[in-house]
Amino acid sequence: MSDELTQEGLTDAAKAYLKSHYGEDTVRMDVLSNTVSDGTGEMNVECTVSVGGSQSDWNKAFAFRDAEVVDMRARFLR
């Protein structure tokens, strides 16, 4: 299995997506479910992110295609 298809590779891609699209630094990311197979599917996480020193908790679902994040849904927790 190539590195980008491992769960660690997928979480690294999700963290990079949050940083590049939203300026979020990931403090914590726990995978709740992962249906990514052959680079396509969805990974659902609960995470804490930091922006400008302020932290917040979220549930985020990352859609992957060819092992790259193509979309993300988020729900604020606290």
pTM: 0.93
Q: From CA 12, how far away is CA 76, in angstroms rounded?
A: 21
Residue ranges of domains in the chain, CATH in brackets: 3-76 (3.10.450)
Residue 5 — very low, low, confident or very high, per pLDDT cuts 50/70/90?
confident
Q: What pairs with residue 21 in β-bridges? A: none
Residue 26: the pLDDT is 98
Calculate what percentage of the chain has a pLDDT beyond 90: 94
Residue 42: the pLDDT is 98
Angle at 16 between CA 27 and CA 7, to 5 degrees: 80
Residue 3: the pLDDT is 60
- For the record, the structure tokens of 66 come out as 């060819």
Residue 23: the pLDDT is 97
